[in-house]
Structure 1
Amino acid sequence: MDALHEELKRWFGYDEFRPGQEEIIRTLLSGQDVLGIMTTGAGKSLCYQLPALMLPGLTLVISPLIALMQDQVQNLERRGIHCATFLNSSLTKREIVERMEGIRNGRYKIVYIAPERIRSREFMTLLSRTQVSLLVVDEAHCISEWGHDFRTDYLLIGSLRERIGQVPIMALTATATKEVQEDITVQLGIEDGARIIMGYDRPNLAFIFRRETTVENKYKEAVAFLRGQRGCGIIYTSSRGECEEFARLLRQQLGEEIAFYHAGMQAEERRQIQDAFIRGKFRIVVATNAFGMGIDKPDIRFVLHLHVPSSVEAYYQEAGRAGRDGKPSICMTIFTQRDRGIHHFFLKKEFPSEAEVDRLAQRLIDLHTEGEAVRIRWREFAGIQGFTEEKVSLLLHIWEQQGVLLIEEMDSQDAVVRFEKNAFAKKRNEVLMTISRLKLRRYGKLHSMVELLAAEGCRRQAILRYFGQEGFARPHPCCDRCDPGLLTGCYTPGPVDRYPWRDVLREILPADPPVVMPRLAKTEGEEAYAIGEARDEAGLPRLYELLKSPSVNTRRMAVSAIGKIRRAESVPYLLTLLKDVNPQVRQYTLKALRKIGDRQAKSYVEEMLKREDKEYNIREAQAILKEWSG
């Protein structure tokens, strides 16, 4: 056993490397930069964790998601490795100070950071005084405009290397076309580095695509599929509302607890759901694409998409969360033609229009004092202007790329920018062209996914060809085109799973009488909305019930409806919502109380104000108190 295998055994307890791991690690330890492309579940994390423990200094890991960082640190701690930490917006200022002090004192070997941390002067000063031995870019496709998940903050990484010295770089991803690979190496300055591509095929996954003509049929097929699955799995939906309501439907149809997960939930709620799923408390999670990246759960037996994914890369990354243990698993996609329309809606919201660009530029100019930097609380700024946070962040980065302004500092709350007033007009056309280019690339990604769904022949071959891989050994079963038995239940994907498509369908959808599937359009949230629109006082008891719903959307709609009806007798029911865990529910509650205008709530609003941490709620509460003091 050589020294590298001894270290593998010492730290991780393994006798052998997985395919590709040893080649990547030895290449890196020889001093070369490396771009490594390995499928989900192939063990990318070990490729940098083991060298990090062997190298003398600090390994800095750029990671796109808070959950991903936390998961990696927890996994290391479970192995008895306590020299890793993370810095991100989930920490308090005190925790950040303590961890930075730990970095200064050499307590850590591995530090995970979000890319925007590079903007912090304090952090960069700390790095300049710290021995950094390795820079790792996880989910490296995020650095490429050609990738499906382009993150503007990732563009800062190239300059980071210049600041900390020419240390080796390891870039890792599971999904990168040839164009994305080229862009990664150029952006990171590692064109002369090694590319180690282990292929994209996952032979243990069976791919099934079904197109249905109606939403109702889509959900019937989904329930039929899920009734045949005894393993655990993830269901991906296109929106937060659908995520919550489909979970509700499944609770009715399957008779078991079903969790849901989306970005509109509080960070602590999301963490609890993720941990419970990993521990097996929930068998099924219904989620948006906010869930799953870096989740270390090897025994996911199925992934079901209930929409058209935004790109082939996004689809393959999400589907690839099934079967990380190498056992047979199913990747099912059930869609309708109208599903692609949701992406057009989101793309319009994601990219700022020409008028919005001008409005935001004028807002910055109005705040400008000659020769001084402008500090904005950019998340509030987004709300005031009617922008999303993502739009403001994107525009700031594009303006910086075009030389319109300089972002001196930026974190999850604040941005400090410096600019000349006339720079916005000079570069306006270039900025608009950049936005158009990014939008067209996103549309192109969506078009490639639609083409994949409609492609003739083997599904696996079409997926692999997209990534530039031609040769592969066709497994059995492979996909619904190669093995039509997958649609009739003739094949058993695994020892604990059945796939009795037609049998199950006949059981739950007999000709007479038919099973009535709840229409998802008639949600509890919409029920509350209808009561409010009708100003139906007789519906108040039902609204009071809906205030206790686990669904954030339902609680919001119920509060809003009560505000429209404006009965003072409703105030006691609303007061408990001032302590709701969701800040938007608290916001709706303040607005409803203001509409009702019953000053018996004044002391409760004052108490809320003492503990409230969201600026928009603080402003609303202060406005109410000022109004009621007159």
Structure 2
Amino acid sequence: MNLEIQLEKYFAYTSFRPGQKEIITSLLEGNHTIAMLPTGTGKSLCYQLPGYLLEGQVIIISPLLSLMQDQVEQLMMNGEKRVIAFNSFLTADEKNHALLQLHHYKFIFLSPEMLRSKSVIDGLKKLHISLFVIDEAHCISQWGYDFRPEYLKLGESRDKLGKPLTLALTATATKEVKNELIASLHLDHWNEFIYSVDRPNISLVVETVESYQEKSERIVELVKRLEGPGIIYFSSKKLTEWMSAYLREHGMTRVMAYHGGMEQENRVLIQQQFLHGQLDLICATSAFGMGINKEDIRFVIHFHMPLQLESYLQEIGRAGRDGKKSVAILLYSPGDEQLPYQIAEAELPSEVQVNAVYQYLEMNHHMTTNLASFEIDIRRISGLTETQWRIIRDYLVDQKELLLKVQFQKLTLFINERLQVKKRKISEMHLWICSQIQQCRRKKILKYFDEDMTIEVENCCDQCGIDLTVFDLKISKHQVANSSYNWKQQLANILLVSERSDEK
């Protein structure tokens, strides 16, 4: 089979990006496949094209509702109607109807939580599943930076579905993450395609500023100076909105905030405006970017320090997908590392919260058989967020055969281990930012992922020496901006020239 012909037939592309053809060939030959491709190198094509070439349905497990919706919309824009996102956006009636119609769909996107529903599993068992895809597969590993408890069940779900041909996709995974991923999915044989995390066309810059105010002022300078479009990442929803307003006050009108607390309709609208060039800049939390298929992003700025190198790479990887020169700038103020530690601790249940849940269940022991029914009461008395509750609930369900006291002892140990992993990741990120040794930043990242730097990169990083003027706005853009701004003067000049011509 000539895959290039099939690629052009289904997607109107004439050639594959590095790694795509090898991964697709592996799947078409019937091999379970683990693939690590850098952000922005077209991972979704690795299951979409085989999906068209294999008989049966493709099941895609995706961790984020926004990512799922984006991928569904992209397939629909490509003319594919047999696609559905099976997630919490569907009403009960819509879910029931979709379950009866599953055989009519080619691509079925599922959240990991939805896959744990007996009715969903029973519906999927009736299908001929040609490919079982785990997107963002690093979420499986307890050592992964974006660990999701629900992902740990995917191996069991895969077994229930008859161990279909499986593709695990991720952009960043260390060796320990990859090994746990393989074990969790119950793979007995597989092919691996591990490509470098490096994106040589993205220059890496860390700037140290002394204060919050100085950081805000530097953002204005950079945005006015750098060729866009661009993204600025924050760890605070409130700050995305404040900064977008601050930038508009300083003359940048084509900027909007984006975060997970916004209404879905507003998020979709802002995404579309950015994709179609109606916005030049997005001030966003990490909720923005996954699935955003925009090739010409020229810069990514981090206002806050990321929690780990893996997510930093994911976020800067949204720049330069067209292969052209782009820049990633991280602004650091002394003490910035405190916020990531606070975020890490807030994501996990505290010892006080765990003890509150234990005491509640100890007094109402019969409730442990159906935790979900008492979620509202348990969360109220313990003050758990939705994420914290999911961690406790899923862990207790796994350990339900043990005595309650033993379950909670193991849960406390598990939470402490997770917190230590998160703190280690923050420490590694902080060390990368603040290292006093004049060593290439790119080389340090590659070493973290057990890679060697094999090519010399021009304008590599601030440690190697970098010329930021390379990324400045082009003169022609300034001229366009100035001409549109000074239209009255332009008109006056035209009239003056016309009068002089008439006099002649």
Q: For residues 417-459 of structure 1, what are the alpha-carbon distances to aligned partners after superposition, in whole Å with 9 as ceiling and x for unaligned?
A: xxx8xx2213332211111000000001111101111233111
Conserved 8 A contact 1:378-1:389:
no
2:448 aligned with 1:469, yes or no? no
Conserved 8 A contact 2:227-2:471:
no
Give, as a single letter, the amino acid of the residue that structure 1 aligns with 2:457. P
CA distance in 2, matches of 1:462, 1:191: 33
Partner of 1:460: 442
Partner of 1:400: 397
Partner of 1:46: 45
Question: What secondary structure is seen at the aligned counterpart in 2 of 1:334?
Answer: strand
C-alpha distance 309-497 of structure 1, shift in aligned 2 (>3 A) = farther
Conserved 8 A contact 1:328-1:493:
no
Give the alignment's TM-score, normalised by structure 2. Answer: 0.90
Partner of 1:74: 73
Give, as a single letter, the amino acid of the residue that structure 2 aligns with 1:251. R
CA distance in 1, matches of 2:350, 2:223: 41
Q: For residues 5-27 of structure 1, what are the alpha-carbon distances to aligned partners after superposition, in whole Å with 9 as ceiling and x for unaligned?
A: 33212111122211111110111
Partner of 1:241: 238
C-alpha distance 359-74 of structure 1, shift in aligned 2 (>3 A) = same
Q: For residues 39-93 of structure 1, what are the alpha-carbon distances to aligned partners after superposition, in whole Å with 9 as ceiling and x for unaligned?
A: 1111110000111111111111000111111111111111112222110111222
Partner of 1:506: none
Please state how far the C-alpha of 1:390 moved relative to its aligned partner: 0.9
Question: What secondary structure is seen at the aligned counterpart in 1 of 2:72?
Answer: helix
Alignment counterpart, residue 345 of structure 1, candidates 342, 346, 360? 342
CA distance in 2, matches of 1:496, 1:26: 46
CA distance in 2, matches of 1:163, 1:11: 32
2:479 aligned with 1:482, yes or no? no
Q: For residues 107-140 of structure 1, what are the alpha-carbon distances to aligned partners after superposition, in whole Å with 9 as ceiling and x for unaligned?
A: 1111110000122111011112111111100001
Q: For residues 290-346 of structure 1, what are the alpha-carbon distances to aligned partners after superposition, in whole Å with 9 as ceiling and x for unaligned?
A: 111111111111110011110000101001101111111111100112211111212
- For CA contacts below 8 A with separation 6 or more, give which structure has more relative contact order: 2
1:550-561 equivalence runs, <5 A: none
C-alpha distance 347-370 of structure 1, shift in aligned 2 (>3 A) = closer
CA distance in 1, matches of 2:61, 2:211: 42
Conserved 8 A contact 1:229-1:498:
no
2:418 aligned with 1:438, yes or no? yes
1:511-590 equivalence runs, <5 A: none
CA distance in 2, matches of 1:272, 1:244: 16
CA distance in 2, matches of 1:395, 1:257: 43
Give, as a single letter, the amino acid of the residue that structure 2 aligns with 1:434. F
Please state how far the C-alpha of 1:496 moved relative to its aligned partner: 7.9
Q: In structure 1, list runs of 5 or more residues that go unmatched.
A: 406-419, 500-630
Q: For residues 460-482 of structure 1, what are the alpha-carbon distances to aligned partners after superposition, in whole Å with 9 as ceiling and x for unaligned?
A: 11111111110331221211222
Q: In structure 2, list runs of 5 or more residues that go unmatched.
A: 479-504
Conserved 8 A contact 2:227-2:474:
no
Conserved 8 A contact 1:227-1:254:
no
Please state how far the C-alpha of 1:494 moved relative to its aligned partner: 8.1
Please state how far the C-alpha of 1:389 moved relative to its aligned partner: 0.9
Question: What secondary structure is seen at the aligned counterpart in 2 of 1:209?
Answer: strand
Partner of 2:150: 153
Using the TM superposition, name which of 323-332 and 248-257 deviates more: 248-257
CA distance in 2, matches of 1:310, 1:353: 19
Please state how far the C-alpha of 1:372 moved relative to its aligned partner: 5.9
Give the alignment's TM-score, normalised by structure 1. Answer: 0.72
2:383 aligned with 1:386, yes or no? yes
Partner of 1:63: 62
Alignment counterpart, residue 178 of structure 1, candidates 167, 175, 183? 175
Partner of 1:267: 264
C-alpha distance 382-257 of structure 1, shift in aligned 2 (>3 A) = farther
Please state how far the C-alpha of 1:383 moved relative to its aligned partner: 4.4
C-alpha distance 392-442 of structure 1, shift in aligned 2 (>3 A) = same
Partner of 1:110: 107
Partner of 1:576: none
CA distance in 1, matches of 2:75, 2:377: 37
C-alpha distance 379-309 of structure 1, shift in aligned 2 (>3 A) = farther
Percent of residue pairs bearing the same amino acid type: 35
Partner of 2:487: none
CA distance in 2, matches of 1:369, 1:161: 31
Give, as a single letter, the amino acid of the residue that structure 2 aligns with 1:132. I
Give, as a single letter, the amino acid of the residue that structure 2 aligns with 1:471. M
Partner of 2:408: 428
Partner of 2:298: 301
Partner of 1:12: 11
Give, as a single letter, the amino acid of the residue that structure 1 aligns with 2:38. T
C-alpha distance 126-333 of structure 1, shift in aligned 2 (>3 A) = same
CA distance in 1, matches of 2:476, 2:146: 33
Partner of 1:27: 26
Question: What secondary structure is seen at the aligned counterpart in 1 of 2:130?
Answer: strand
Conserved 8 A contact 1:492-1:498:
no
Conserved 8 A contact 2:297-2:319:
yes
Please state how far the C-alpha of 1:257 moved relative to its aligned partner: 3.8
CA distance in 2, matches of 1:117, 1:497: 51
C-alpha distance 496-70 of structure 1, shift in aligned 2 (>3 A) = farther
Question: What secondary structure is seen at the aligned counterpart in 2 of 1:167?
Answer: coil
Partner of 2:140: 143
Aligned residues: 476
Conserved 8 A contact 2:400-2:407:
yes
C-alpha distance 255-492 of structure 1, shift in aligned 2 (>3 A) = closer
Partner of 1:251: 248
Partner of 1:125: 122
CA distance in 2, matches of 1:278, 1:231: 13
Question: What secondary structure is seen at the aligned counterpart in 2 of 1:337?
Answer: coil
